[in-house]
């Protein structure tokens, strides 16, 4: 028996086996053997999810050895990368080929397959989540076959598995749609939340990236905007809020303090009133919470289980120290988010049932149909996934 825990330590598991994968053949053999033995198999990326996506199965497979840029097509602006690649390794490696990710999240410690599993995103009203960048995938399926999928080949499998929740198989490689390398200039400043909300539409429209953190029990928000620049990179890099360098040097941040997090995506025009409702909750009821509320934007997409599926989106995240109780706070926040037609981030805390998730995601039944077609024995479902399945 092995021990595993996620980044925050809040979730832990004792699988029969923790298996390190060094080749696609090994991944395929493990998938087939797990199915034949009737055991459940879940992959782990960097363990940065707050939701029970990795825990409580029989076998956990760690694919971080399948890492790096495998090939690039500079004409198409695409790159095949190992499924276990950590995002922070991809920035410099893609840049050597003149390519870059269009966007990334607050940190770059996740694996690429883990990040696309949950629709991980950064901020930017014209920018979509990482799952939308997946133009191809190689997946070791439950029967031991390795299948390649894209818009041209096994297209339904590709469409469904761009946001895959670890439920289709072991992803050994992903093809990503990239941009030509670009540099970014970051600025950040503190201002009263009321002033910020009054200017928010312009700030979002006039900056490639715009986000803010509001600190409960204060009137202050910390705003950050990031834009493309032709200015040369400035080294040594400045601190967060003052960097000017390549995209992969400016976008990620250091977030060392262990916490839990709930995040919901609401329709873009519902962002400000939803934020104000969360602010009232913190001002009037959860007056002890000191962790900030984060506000970001995300462009509409066509990824089946994306929280931004067919709608421009604002994401609002609430946090709590990992050693403090969070359930009452998060349940109260969730009630507000649901009032604003919110959809939960797949990798963060939520209390929704499968029926509730089904109502939020128009392609829910299709996603499960395609998933079940490649894993009829449910090898790749853990108890959480079984609990929410139709
Ligand atoms: C400090 C911190 C900051 C964060 N910032 C952001 C942010 O800015 N934006 C945002 O959207 N989210 C953010 N998140 C959430 C995080 O990006 C997601 O939870 C993401 O899914 C974690 O990636 P991971 O590599 O750690 O995957 P894991 O949590 O290890 O796994 C996630 C899912 O991917 C599956 N999986 C992983 N690898 C494979 C593979 N090779 N094949 C098949 N399935 C696989 C797992 O089975 C699981 O279902 C943050 C989380 C933390 C802790």
Domains of the chain: 69-180 (3.30.465.10), 183-344 (3.40.462.10)
**Strand 41-44 with 59-62, pairing:** parallel
Residue nearest to atom 36 of ligand 1 (CA): 114
- Atom of ligand 1 minimally distant from the CA of 112: 25
Per-position b or e across 247-264, b if 16+ CB within 10 A of its CB:
bbbbbbeeeeeebbbbbb
Query: pTM for the complete prediction?
Result: 0.98
Q: What is the pLDDT of residue 256?
A: 93
Nearest by Cα to 319 from 292, 279, 282, 346: 292
Q: Rounded CA gap, 349 and 339, in Å? A: 17
- Atom of ligand 1 minimally distant from the CA of 63: 41
For residues 341 and 267, is the Cβ–Cβ distance under 8 A? yes
Does residue 250's CB lie within 6 angstroms of at least one atom of ligand 1? no
Residue nearest to atom 40 of ligand 1 (CA): 171
267 CA distance to ligand 1 middle (Å): 23
* SS3 of the chain: helix, strand, coil, percent, to 5: 30, 30, 45
Q: Rounded CA gap, 13 and 47, in Å? A: 12
Kindly give, in sequence order, each residue whose CB lies less than 8 Å from that of residue 269, ignoring residues fewer than 6 positions away. Answer: none
Q: What is the pLDDT of residue 354?
A: 98
Q: Rounded CA gap, 118 and 79, in Å? A: 21
164 CA distance to ligand 1 middle (Å): 11
Q: Rounded CA gap, 264 and 346, in Å? A: 9
Q: Over its length of 390 residues, how does the chain's per-residue pLDDT go in tens digits?
A: 899 999 999 999 999 999 999 999 999 999 999 999 999 999 999 999 999 999 999 999 999 999 999 999 999 999 999 999 999 999 999 999 999 999 999 999 999 999 999 999 999 999 999 999 999 999 999 999 999 999 999 999 999 999 999 999 999 999 999 999 999 999 999 999 999 999 999 999 999 999 999 999 999 999 999 999 999 999 999 999 999 999 999 999 999 999 999 999 999 999 999 999 999 999 999 999 999 999 999 999 999 999 999 999 999 999 999 999 999 999 999 999 999 999 999 999 999 999 999 999 999 999 999 999 999 999 999 999 999 999
Does residue 35's CB lie within 6 angstroms of at least one atom of ligand 1? no
Q: Rounded CA gap, 8 and 273, in Å? A: 30
Residue 368 CA: distances (Å) to CA of 4, 136, 317, 381: 27, 19, 27, 11
What would the two tokens of residue 224 be? 């950050």
Q: What is the pLDDT of residue 255?
A: 94
Does residue 82's CB lie within 6 angstroms of at least one atom of ligand 1? no
From 22, 110, 149, mutation site for ligand 1 pocket: most ligand atoms within 8 A of C-beta: 110
Nearest by Cα to 123 from 269, 347, 306, 313: 313
Q: Write down the H helix ranges in the chain.
A: 24-37, 87-95, 112-117, 155-161, 193-205, 247-250, 271-284, 327-339, 354-360, 364-374, 383-388
- Atom of ligand 1 minimally distant from the CA of 172: 41
Does residue 45's CB lie within 6 angstroms of at least one atom of ligand 1? yes
How crowded is residue 237: how many other Cβ atoms within 10 Å of its Cβ? 14
Q: What is the pLDDT of residue 1?
A: 83
Does residue 120's CB lie within 6 angstroms of at least one atom of ligand 1? yes
Per-position b or e across 34-72, b if 16+ CB within 10 A of its CB:
bbeeebbbbbbbbbbbbbbbbbbbbbbbbbbebbebbeb
DSSP string, 237-288: ---TTS-EEEHHHHS-----S-EEEEEEEEEGGGHHHHHHHHHHHHHHT-TT
List, in sequence order, every residue forming a beta bridge with 186; answer none if it has no partner: 226
232 CA distance to ligand 1 middle (Å): 32
Does residue 117's CB lie within 6 angstroms of at least one atom of ligand 1? yes
191 CA distance to ligand 1 middle (Å): 32
- Atom of ligand 1 minimally distant from the CA of 255: 1
8 CA distance to ligand 1 middle (Å): 12
Kindly give, in sequence order, each residue whose CB lies less than 8 Å from that of residue 369, ignoring residues fewer than 6 positions away. Answer: none
Does residue 111's CB lie within 6 angstroms of at least one atom of ligand 1? yes
Q: Rounded CA gap, 85 and 61, in Å? A: 14
Does residue 85's CB lie within 6 angstroms of at least one atom of ligand 1? no
Peptide bond into 10 cis (omega under 30): no
């Amino acid at each position: 028996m092995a021990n595993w825990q996620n980044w925050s330590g809040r979730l832990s598991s004792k699988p029969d086996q923790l298996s390190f994968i060094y080749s696609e053949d090994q991944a395929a053999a493990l998938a087939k053997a797990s199915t034949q033995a009737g055991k459940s198999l879940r992959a782990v990326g960097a363990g940065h999810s707050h939701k029970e996506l990795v825990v409580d199965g029989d076998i956990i497979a760690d694919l971080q050895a399948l890492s790096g840029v495998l090939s690039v097509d500079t004409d198409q602006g695409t790159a095949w990368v190992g499924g276990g690649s950590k995002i922070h390794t991809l920035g410099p490696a893609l840049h050597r080929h003149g390519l870059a990710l269009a966007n990334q999240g607050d940190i770059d410690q996740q694996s690429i397959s883990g990040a696309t599993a949950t629709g991980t995103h950064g901020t930017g009203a014209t920018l979509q989540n990482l799952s939308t960048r997946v133009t191809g995938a190689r997946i070791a399926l439950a029967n031991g076959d390795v299948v390649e999928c894209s818009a041209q080949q096994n297209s339904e499998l590709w469409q469904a598995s761009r946001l895959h929740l670890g439920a289709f198989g072991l992803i050994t490689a992903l093809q990503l749609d990239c941009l030509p390398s670009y540099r970014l200039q970051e600025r950040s400043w503190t201002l009263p939340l009321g002033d910020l909300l009054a200017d928010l539409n312009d700030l979002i429209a006039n900056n490639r990236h715009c986000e803010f953190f509001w600190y409960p029990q204060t009137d202050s928000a910390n705003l950050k905007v990031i834009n493309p620049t032709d200015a040369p990179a400035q080294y040594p890099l400045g601190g967060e809020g003052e960097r000017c360098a390549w995209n992969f040097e400016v976008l990620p941040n250091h977030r060392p303090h262990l916490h839990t997090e709930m995040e919901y995506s609401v329709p873009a025009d519902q962002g400000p009133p939803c934020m104000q409702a969360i602010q009232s909750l913190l001002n009037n009821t959860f007056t002890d919470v000191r962790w900030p509320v984060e506000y970001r934007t995300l462009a509409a997409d066509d990824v089946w289980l994306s929280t931004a599926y067919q709608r421009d989106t604002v994401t609002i995240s609430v946090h709590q120290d990992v050693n403090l109780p969070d359930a009452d706070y998060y349940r109260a926040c969730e009630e507000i988010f649901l009032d604003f037609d919110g959809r939960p981030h797949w990798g963060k805390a939520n209390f929704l049932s499968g029926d509730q998730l089904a109502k939020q995601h128009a392609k829910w039944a299709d996603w499960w149909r395609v998933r079940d077609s490649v894993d009829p024995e449910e090898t790749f479902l853990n108890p959480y996934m079984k609990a929410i399945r139709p």
